[in-house]
Amino acid sequence: MRLAFITSNPGKVEEARKYFEPLGVEVYQLKVDYPEIQADTLEEVAEYGARWLAERLDGPFFLDDSGLFIDALNGFPGVYSAYVYRTLGVDGILKLMEGVEDRRAHFRSVIAYWDNELYLFTGRVEGEITREKRGTMGFGFDPIFKPTGFEETFAEMTTEEKNRISHRGRALKAFAEWLKENLK
C-alpha cells in the first residue's frame, strides 16, 4: 500500500516513512499548499485542511497538524507553532523562557486521514523546555524539547527513538492500527 502525505515538512515525512516501512506501507510526500485556518484547536485546523484538499484531490491522503504547548506561556505557541517557528524561532522561545522556572510543555499531533470520509488520530507527549539547544537530529523545536523520563532532547534521538515516544509516533500508531483493522 502507498499513502500520500500532504506536507511541506520533510522531517514529518521521514518520521512517517520510518514508522510505516516495517509495516509494508510506503509513504510519499505530496506538496500541496492548503489553507491553515486560525482556530483554537489543532483538530479544527487539520479537519478544515483535509476537507479543503478532499474537494481538490483524488484518492486517499493524510496530513498532520502539530503544535508545541508551553505551560508557563498558557499553551503558547500551540496552534501558532508554525508561525512562531518561522518568526521567533527556537532562540526566540528560549528567550521567552529566560528566568522561567516552570519548564513543562507538551507536543500534540493530529493526523487527518481522508478516504471518502475524515478520520482523526492524535498523539501527545509530555516534557520540558531545556535551557539551551541540544542535538542536531529531527527538526523544528526538537533541540529544546526533552521528553519526560529521558535525558536526551528529541534532537539527540534517532527517528526510531523519537517515534517510539513522540506525539507524532503515537498518532501514527493509532493511524496504523486503524488501517490494519479497516483495510483488510
Q: Nine-digit cell at 87? A: 518568526
Question: In the bound complex, what is the minimum distance in angstroms from residue 84's beta carbon to ligand ITT?
Answer: 7
Expressed in angstroms, the distance from the first to the final Cα of the chain is 12
Q: What's the length of the chain? A: 184
Whether residue 116 is annotated as binding a ligand: the answer is no
- Whether the CB-CB separation of 135 and 156 falls below 8 Å is answered with yes
User: What's the CA gap between 177 and 28, in Å, rounded?
Assistant: 19
User: What's the CA gap between 32 and 8, in Å, rounded?
Assistant: 8
19 binds ligand ITT (CB under 6 A): no
159 binds ligand ITT (CB under 6 A): no
158 binds ligand ITT (CB under 6 A): no
- Tell me whether residue 65 is one of the annotated catalytic residues: yes
Give per-residue burial for 117-134: e unless 16+ CB within 10 Å, then b.
eebbbbbebebbbbeeeb
81 binds ligand ITT (CB under 6 A): yes
- Give the residue at shortest CB distance from ligand ITT: 140
Question: In the bound complex, what is the minimum distance in angstroms from residue 26's beta carbon to ligand ITT?
Answer: 19
Question: In the bound complex, what is the minimum distance in angstroms from residue 2's beta carbon to ligand ITT?
Answer: 19
The contact set with ligand ITT (CB under 6 A) reads: 7-9, 12, 36, 64-68, 81-82, 85, 107, 138-142, 154, 166, 168
The contact set with Na ion (CB under 5 A) reads: 82
Known catalytic residues are 65
